[in-house]
Structure 1
Amino acid sequence: MERWLEQREAGPDERARVIAYLTENLALDDARFAEAFTADKRQLSGWGNDRIEQALRRRGIRSDLIGSALEQPGDGTEVDRAARLLAEKRVELGDDRGRSRALGMLARRGYSAEDAYAAIRRAGPDH
Structure 2
Amino acid sequence: MKKPRPKRPEQLADTPLEHEQRVQDALERAFRFIAKRERTVSQVSARLERDGIESAVIAEAVGQMVTDGYISDTRFAALYAEDRRAIDGWGNERIVTNLREAGVSTEIIEAIVGSRGHDDQVGDAIRVLDQRVGTKPSDARERERALGILARRGYSLEIAYDAVRAYERS
TM-score, structure 2 normalization: 0.68
Cα distance between partner residues in 1 of 2:158 and 2:56: 49
Residues 91 and 98 in structure 1, CA contact (< 8 A), matched pair in contact too? no
* CA deviation after TM superposition for structure 1 residue 2, in Å: 1.2
Count of equivalent residues: 125
Match of 1:102 in 2: 146
Match of 1:63 in 2: 106
Cα distance between partner residues in 2 of 1:79 and 1:12: 44
* Larger Rg belongs to: 2
Match of 2:47 in 1: 4
Match of 2:159 in 1: 115
Q: Which sits farther off after the overlay, 104-113 or 21-30?
A: 21-30
Structure 1's consecutive aligned runs of 4 or more residues displaced over 4 angstroms after TM superposition are none
What amino acid sits opposite 1:115 in the alignment? I
Unmatched 5+ stretches in structure 2: 1-43
Match of 1:37 in 2: 80
Match of 1:82 in 2: 125
Question: Which protein, 1 or 2, shows the higher relative CO under an 8 Å CA cutoff with sep ≥ 6?
Answer: 1
Residues 91 and 154 in structure 2, CA contact (< 8 A), matched pair in contact too? yes
Identity of aligned residues (%): 34
TM-score, structure 1 normalization: 0.89
Residues 35 and 72 in structure 1, CA contact (< 8 A), matched pair in contact too? no
Aligned CA RMSD, in angstroms, stands at 1.8
Q: Which sits farther off after the overlay, 18-27 or 98-107?
A: 18-27
* CA deviation after TM superposition for structure 1 residue 78, in Å: 0.9
